[in-house]
Structure 1
Amino acid sequence: MTVLAPESVDLANLVDPELYATGDPYPVWRWMRDNDPVRLHAATQYPAFWSVTRYDDIRTVYNDARVFSSAEGILLRPLAHGKDPGGGRTLALTDPPHHKALRSLVADWFTTRSVRALEEAMRGAVRQVVARAAGLGECDFVTDIAARLPLYVICRLMGVPDHEQEMLFSLTSKAFGAGEAETRSIAHQEIMAYFLELMYRRMDQPEDDLVSALVNGEVDGNLLSEEDILLNCDNLLVGGTENVRLAVAGGMQTFLDRPADWERLHADRTLMPTAVEEVLRWTSSATHIMRTVTEPVTLRDRLLEAGDRVVMWTPSANRDERYFENPDVFDITRRPNRHLALGAGEHFCLGAMMTRTEMRILFTELLDSIHHIEQTGPAVPLRSIVVNGLESLPVRITAK
């Protein structure tokens, strides 16, 4: 374990994407948990904010939606970008009671019964994905495998026709990838244009899907505006794909680094549920989540004022020595494992069960259908302060 001296800790690096691409933020978070767990950061290109790094404090923030609001945005944004356009309008960026009403429009698609009804289709989709990847010889595990199942599932739920899914996959790969900013922006505009057209289709001919639910559902007795529908479509697309893509890719890299764990899981499938939870904890795909204080409140020994921003570092909470035994050890048998990778409180991930099911099926099908998987080049981490994971993971897959 690396122990940093105070003078060696550059806390400003926490908002530098390079730290996550080529450095190691975990020693910085460890020092903060031990020495300054609720710390004020001065404004830079980002607004001033409080860093929260301990598990218990982060749970406190998550569980009080009245004092710690999501409506002003849940991610740090450069001051030059202004307010988040989804503030107060999307599932992720609303507070109770509006949040509950909006969530109720789409919640039925993420129930236990709905998820179970999709399981066989998921297995079929994964088998096709793995067969395709094996046929390529060498492939990128992130884009060719990890990204495809969650996109297939969310497209199915949103009512995207089968023949349009590959086009949407291509656009999302560009929009949420690591390419040029202009390329990402153009792709994102094309995604929004696609959902605008799909929204109008569902206005004329509703079906049993999420877009129809947003088009025809009412919140507080009113239909959603067209802009609100589009913003929520975007929110569902990102939320329905990012967690699984990043967790599965990071999990696969971890298993490649620890082949004994992969072999153990292959031999004993009863370990799959705890292995999935440990992958979620270990990868912690949301690097940070933000809230805005609505009234003066004391957190630990710090007085936070109304309007202050609070940034919760999820990977830090999930490595907190005060809560997890041997937190820097990857343990597929870990119990209990009450990580915060999927949030907590009012905003606990709507698709948590779907995420776990997709991960379980994907790992199971990989174990069942491949003879060998090997890494063929260096994994490339994302250069981001928002999400934690891999941009690419080159592998070679041999099918059974």
Structure 2
Amino acid sequence: MTVSTTSFTDLTDPGLHATGDPHAVWRWMRAEAPVCWHPPAEMPGFWSLTRHEDVRAVYRDPATFSSARGVLLRPVRLGDDPGGGLTLALSDPPRHKRLRSLMAEWFSTRGVRRLEEYIRSATSAVLARAAETGECDFVHDVAGRLSISVICHIIGVPAEDHEDLFRWTNEAFEAHTSLAAHQRFMAYFIDLMDRREAEPADDLMSALVHGEVDGEPLTEEEILLNCENLVGATENGRLALAGGMLAFLEHPDQWRLLRENRELLPGAGEEILRWTSSATHSMRTATRHTVVRGQEIRAGDRVVLWLPSANRDENVFAEPYRFDITRTPNRHIALAAGEHVCIGGTLARAEMRILFSEILDTVRGIEQTGPAVRLRSIAVTGAQSIPVRIAAR
């Protein structure tokens, strides 16, 4: 018998994720309805998967579960994602792998190692700026500013333009709209694309402009949408960084543990990724008839993977609702798995390691001055704002 979520809640209600308790819902679903039908309303109907094993299996089977029709739920009236097949996030093998190869150098272990000096300098600058202002919003003024600075540097945006890009992305994130709909943002990248066409540089934009997939150059639309996707992904980055700070503020024993033993930093980063799980859901579309835990899924059906649920699965994580920077093993899938494992995973880990190292080295104290406000979103999860006072050493 198919179980419907209407019997207890609407997972597509942003209010649930902002002020409710979605983890209580997911906990029930993992136990009672791990493959659960959500009937259509404003959003199309879809199957919900909440267990770690099932989410991971879908990620690792792109032949059966396609990304090309979209990876996020969209209202029925909007139809499929218009970027389908054009971007790294919205493509399937073999094109996905070939498109990924154009960008891989900048996000590889070697590429990120070359970036570390810049990341450390940018981190130091945002922390100093935040300390000078006294009270600030850690999400916006530290995590957000750092994330956008790093990706802009990789793409090839001159430093003097970073503040404009920061402002435009904030406008889009706060309005919950696509960056592709922000006219000034897109106009800027059209101009940058044209400049790199005439004068290539050692940056990601040049790689996209002058690269080829299957012997053909990318179209202007493909270049722009891939840049938009990369910048848009900084929302997940800022939420993970800010969520890590909030976790430490709420669990001061874990901060003391990290301060006393810096060797725990890599593991702390993995636990922050699991704990925050900033991507709330990821969607796939079945390309053929299949069965998951005895439930038939037809070709064309949408399947939604709830990542915060998978990363609290009691069958995988001991005491999953405890923030523990010594957790091992930590088989989270906050950055996906398989072909679509996040290309920026190594970069995200480096940013996290450097940010918290710099805080330990240069900040005397961080005091939360008010309650954190959670986002109203079903796409990303975390704090919209965390008011803090940062005191420099």
TM-score, scaled to structure 1: 0.95
Tell me whether 1:141 sits opposite 2:138 in the alignment. Answer: yes
CA distance, structure 2, for counterparts of residue 112 and residue 7 of structure 1: 44
CA distance, structure 2, for counterparts of residue 292 and residue 8 of structure 1: 19
| 1:310 match: secondary structure | strand
Query: Deviations for 1:2-59, whole angstroms, at most 9, x for unmatched residues?
Result: xxxx999854421000001111100100100000100111111011100000000111
- 1:224 alignment partner in structure 2: 218
Quick one: which amino acid aligns to residue 224 of structure 1?
L
**1:85 equivalent among 82, 86, 98:** 82
Q: Tell me, yes or no, if the aligned pair for 1:243 and 1:355 is still in contact at 8 Å.
A: no
**1:285 equivalent among 266, 278, 282:** 278
CA distance, structure 2, for counterparts of residue 217 and residue 248 of structure 1: 32
Quick one: which amino acid aligns to residue 157 of structure 2?
V
Report which stretch shifted further, 283-292 or 213-222.
213-222
- 2:189 alignment partner in structure 1: 195
- 1:185 deviates by 7.1
Query: Deviations for 1:247-298, whole angstroms, at most 9, x for unmatched residues?
Result: 1111111111111111111111011111110000000000000000000001
C-alpha spacing 1:8/1:41, structure 2 compared with 1 (3 Å)? closer
- 1:243 deviates by 2.7
Q: Tell me, yes or no, if the aligned pair for 2:336 and 2:342 is still in contact at 8 Å.
A: yes
- 2:202 alignment partner in structure 1: 208
Q: Tell me, yes or no, if the aligned pair for 1:172 and 1:187 is still in contact at 8 Å.
A: no
Quick one: which amino acid aligns to residue 275 of structure 1?
A
**2:310 equivalent among 268, 292, 317:** 317
**1:32 equivalent among 18, 24, 29:** 29
CA distance, structure 1, for counterparts of residue 155 and residue 85 of structure 2: 22
C-alpha spacing 1:226/1:7, structure 2 compared with 1 (3 Å)? closer
Quick one: which amino acid aligns to residue 206 of structure 2?
S
Query: Deviations for 1:164-221, whole angstroms, at most 9, x for unmatched residues?
Result: 11111111111112x486xx87972211111111111111111111111111111111
- 1:119 deviates by 0.8
Tell me whether 1:272 sits opposite 2:265 in the alignment. Answer: yes
Q: Tell me, yes or no, if the aligned pair for 2:55 and 2:305 is still in contact at 8 Å.
A: yes
Q: Alignment RMSD, CA only?
A: 1.7
Quick one: which amino acid aligns to residue 315 of structure 2?
R
C-alpha spacing 1:367/1:187, structure 2 compared with 1 (3 Å)? farther
Quick one: which amino acid aligns to residue 169 of structure 2?
T
Tell me whether 1:123 sits opposite 2:120 in the alignment. Answer: yes
| 1:199 match: secondary structure | helix
Quick one: which amino acid aligns to residue 188 of structure 1?
H
Listed as ranges, the matches of 1:157-196 within 5 Å are: 157-177=154-174, 179=175, 188-196=182-190
**1:255 equivalent among 220, 229, 248:** 248
> Once superposed, which parts of structure 1, at least 4 consecutive aligned residues long, lie more than 6 Å away?
6-9, 184-187
C-alpha spacing 1:180/1:82, structure 2 compared with 1 (3 Å)? closer
- 2:44 alignment partner in structure 1: 47
CA distance, structure 2, for counterparts of residue 231 and residue 270 of structure 1: 39
TM-score, scaled to structure 2: 0.97
Query: Deviations for 1:149-170, whole angstroms, at most 9, x for unmatched residues?
Result: 2211111110001111111111
**1:349 equivalent among 339, 342, 345:** 342
Quick one: which amino acid aligns to residue 264 of structure 1?
L
CA distance, structure 2, for counterparts of residue 185 and residue 313 of structure 1: 24
- 1:3 alignment partner in structure 2: none
- 2:56 alignment partner in structure 1: 59
- 1:101 deviates by 0.8
Quick one: which amino acid aligns to residue 388 of structure 2?
V
C-alpha spacing 1:72/1:137, structure 2 compared with 1 (3 Å)? same
Report which stretch shifted further, 185-194 or 351-360.
185-194
Percent of counterpart pairs with the same letter?
Answer: 58
CA distance, structure 2, for counterparts of residue 48 and residue 9 of structure 1: 12
CA distance, structure 2, for counterparts of residue 124 and residue 185 of structure 1: 27
C-alpha spacing 1:9/1:50, structure 2 compared with 1 (3 Å)? closer
Unaligned runs of at least 5 residues, structure 1 = 1-5
CA distance, structure 1, for counterparts of residue 53 and residue 60 of structure 2: 11
C-alpha spacing 1:7/1:51, structure 2 compared with 1 (3 Å)? closer
Quick one: which amino acid aligns to residue 269 of structure 1?
R
Query: Deviations for 1:80-102, whole angstroms, at most 9, x for unmatched residues?
Result: 11221111110000000010110
C-alpha spacing 1:186/1:291, structure 2 compared with 1 (3 Å)? closer
CA distance, structure 2, for counterparts of residue 66 and residue 258 of structure 1: 42
CA distance, structure 2, for counterparts of residue 355 and residue 200 of structure 1: 29
- 1:141 deviates by 0.3
| 2:267 match: secondary structure | helix
Q: Tell me, yes or no, if the aligned pair for 2:265 and 2:353 is still in contact at 8 Å.
A: yes
CA distance, structure 2, for counterparts of residue 185 and residue 37 of structure 1: 34
**1:237 equivalent among 231, 241, 265:** 231
C-alpha spacing 1:180/1:83, structure 2 compared with 1 (3 Å)? closer
| 1:124 match: secondary structure | helix
- 1:113 deviates by 1.1
Q: Tell me, yes or no, if the aligned pair for 2:52 and 2:311 is still in contact at 8 Å.
A: yes
Quick one: which amino acid aligns to residue 13 of structure 1?
D
Tell me whether 1:18 sits opposite 2:12 in the alignment. Answer: no
C-alpha spacing 1:280/1:215, structure 2 compared with 1 (3 Å)? same
CA distance, structure 2, for counterparts of residue 119 and residue 251 of structure 1: 20
CA distance, structure 2, for counterparts of residue 115 and residue 185 of structure 1: 25
- 1:112 deviates by 1.0
CA distance, structure 1, for counterparts of residue 43 and residue 26 of structure 2: 19
How many residues align? The count is 391
Tell me whether 1:98 sits opposite 2:92 in the alignment. Answer: no
Q: Tell me, yes or no, if the aligned pair for 2:112 and 2:347 is still in contact at 8 Å.
A: yes
